[in-house]
Amino acid sequence: MDPITLFSIIKGGLVLGALYALMATGLSLVWTTLGIFNFAHGAFIALGAYVAWQFASADAYGLPLGLALAVTTGVMFAIGAVIHFLLVKPFERRADVVLITVITTLAGSAILENALLLIWGPRSKQIPELVEGTVAVAEFQLAWSEVLLLVVVLAILIGLGLFLRYTRPGRSMRAVSQNREAAQLLGLDVPIYFALAFGLSAVTAGLAGVFVGTIRFMNPAMGAEPLMKALIVVIFGGIARFSSPIYAAFIIGLLEAFSIYVFGLYWAPAVLFLTMIVVLLIKPEGLFGKYQRTL
Amino acid sequence: MADPILQVTDLSGGYDPVQIFRDINLSVGAGESIGIFGPNGHGKTTLLKTLSGLIDPWSGDIRFDGQQMNRSGARGSRRWQNFNYDAITRRRMDPKTVARAGLIHVQQGNLLFPELTVDETLSISTRAASGRQGWSRADVLGLFPRLSERLVHKIRFLSGGERQMVSVAAGLLSAPRMLILDEPTLGLSPKVRSELCDAIVTVRETGLPIILIDQDVAFLERIIDRLYLFDHGRISRVMERDEIPGHEGLMAMLFGEVT
């Protein structure tokens, strides 16, 4: 393998890893805090892409990209919180909440995807590249948009990590995730922190969708495949701490890039699942996981 | 007596469909403390969980600090639960509202937040006390000097006694008007136990009302003004502090004379 090929595989793996990290973090945030699995996460990915397209594309409102991203963030947060109150909150006190919310979030996912189809139509769209041009060192080429993606994703993840660790709402959210009853007895407003977790999760999914929308063509079901990958990442990595899905995401991203090169595009998912199964056989709680779910 | 700070009237409850306690009447005046004494498994902890709103009461009223804690009309609305419709109906009691009113429940064997450090736990517990005599972080660290050395440690690495101290400290920081302590000294080594007991006596001396459940009559006598004897989900007897007949006497009241 020549160095340029190797470089482009690693580059591709890192970009994939960054996207997976963003999506998996949102997924595990909801899982650790609420104890439920959000199947509408994939629809959030598509929704973020469409909302950003609506504000940024020259065919629609044509706002400057930065502004469009800020608006998308706000919209996604609000939608995430609303979805929580509609699809999860009403069933919170039931013993079978985990199963019920599988159904409700799946339903929500179908409704959201079809709403996207109704609003924006079936024609494929693409978000304009966030920045243009490439940077080249010797023969190694790197698009500025890829650099931006890596930087932005890392900034978001670090920001989220700092939020959870050092701010009062972030700490309270962790407290709620670790012991709901004790948090209530100290007067913490549990539903608000649940909505916050859902909102933040929707924001990370939406931003991941924006990046996917700049790389590939958008369609309402575009979130399904990334959701599957994010799921593999979460299961593969375990969720002992905030950072474990992030490491796992980069491992999966690089693994996927290499297996596409070695085994071809069609075998790459099989390799990923096989890796996940082997890891789970050896370490059932995930590569970095522990048995309890905490944040 | 002035208006009681906590007034519990004809309270019944349990885990549907099993009734755990019935017809509980308690009244705690401002600055007063009470104790509840009774055998294990008779529903003391369930009663406390109902007072703090973790479990909905079946019937009866809980008034704290002049405020009705359970939503009115409680008697009739249990019917809703039989429709298994409680997912949509709002709860009749909300632990957050109870806690913010100042009734702070320190649970038995409280695990708190295993992955949070002591420092983080204290920081999220701190609530501004509007018009209440509040405890500051420095105050609680003065009360539990042990915790000062443990600030950066995660709670799951603490000993049982230290964990109990963090629980009480977090309760004190949440602007309490009354503390509920559920067997705070259970399973602690004698040294840690006496440290914790002394700290609770200090808290009591500030005039903060306490509801204390404990099996140690000598400790109860240091804290409380009145003792409620709890037997098979009912209050079988109420006595002032100087009427308490000691541990043996209480056991005799509960189980009859042992020959």
Q: Quote the ipTM score.
A: 0.87
Q: What is the CATH number of the domain that holds B71?
A: 3.40.50.300
Residue from A28, A31, A20, A23 nearest A249 by CA: A20
Rounded Cα–Cα distance for residues A129 and B95 (Å): 49
CA distance A59 to chain B (A): 43
The list of chain B residues with pLDDT below 70 reads 1-2, 72-91, 129-133, 257-259
Residue of A93, A174, A187 lying closest to B113 (CB–CB): A174
User: Which residue type occupies A41?
Assistant: H
Contacts of A184 (CB under 8 A, 6+ apart): A190, B53, B54, B95, B96, B99
Decide if A184 and B95 are in contact by the 8 Å CB cutoff. Answer: yes
Q: Return the CA Rg of chain A.
A: 19
What is residue B1's predicted lDDT score, i.e. its pLDDT? 52
pLDDT at B147: 94
Per DSSP, what are the bridge partners of residue B34? B211, B226
Domain count, chain B: 1
Show me where the domains of chain A are located.
3-282
Q: What is the pLDDT of residue A92?
A: 81
How far lies B242's CA from each of A224, B221, B229, B235, B238, in Å?
71, 9, 14, 19, 12
Select the residue of A91, A182, A292 nearest B112 (Cβ to Cβ).
Answer: A182
Inter-chain Cβ pairs, chain A and chain B, closer than 8 A: 76
Question: Nearest chain A Cα to B55, which residue?
Answer: A181
pLDDT, tens digit, 9 for 90 and up, residues B103-159:
999 998 778 999 999 999 999 998 876 666 678 999 999 999 999 999 999 999 999
DSSP 8-state assignment for residue A94 = S
10 Å Cβ neighbour count for B226?
18
**Which residue out of A91, A186, A242 would a mutagenesis test of the B interface target, given it has the greatest number of B Cβ atoms within 10 Å?**
A186
Angle at B46 between CA A88 and CA B203, to 5 degrees: 105
| pLDDT tens-place string over residues B39-49 | 988 899 999 99
Number of helices (H) and strands (E), helices first, in chain B? 10, 10
Question: What's the gap in Å between the CA of B8 and the closest CA on chain A?
Answer: 19
Give the closest of A171, A182, A189 to B107, CB-based.
A182
> What is the pLDDT, as a whole number, of residue B46?
93
What pLDDT does B89 receive? 46
Range of the domain at B173: 4-255
Cβ–Cβ gap B125/A186 under 8 Å: yes
Q: What is the mean pLDDT of each run of 10 residues along chain A (295 residues)?
A: 89 94 93 91 96 89 88 96 92 85 95 95 85 81 89 95 95 93 92 94 96 91 91 85 89 94 91 91 84 60
Strand B4-15 and strand B59-64: the pairing is antiparallel
Q: If you average pLDDT over every residue of chain A, what do you get?
A: 90
Give the SS3 label for residue B35.
strand
In this prediction, residue B2 carries a pLDDT of 62
Tens of pLDDT, residue by residue over A160-192, are 999 999 999 999 999 999 999 999 999 999 999
| The pLDDT value given to residue B258 | 58
Q: What is the DSSP string of A177-197?
A: HH-HHHHHHTT--HHHHHHHH
Q: What is the DSSP code string of B120-160?
A: HHHHHH----TTS-PPPHHHHHHH-HHHHTTTTSBGGGS-H
Shortest alpha-carbon distance between residue B22 and chain A (Å): 23
> B42 — contact with chain A (CB < 8 Å)?
no
Q: Does B115 touch chain A (CB under 8 A)?
A: yes
Interface touch A294/B91, C-beta < 8 Å:
no
Q: Are B36 and B180 a contacting pair, CB within 8 Å?
A: no
Whether B96 sits inside 8 A of A188 (CB atoms) is: yes
Q: CA quadruple B218, B219, B224, B226: dihedral positive or negative?
A: negative
Order of all β-strands in the sheet with B103-106: B103-106, B178-182, B210-213, B34-37, B226-231, B234-240
Residue of B104, B116, B123 lying closest to A178 (CB–CB)? B116
Task: Please give the DSSP secondary-structure letter assigned to residue B63.
Answer: E
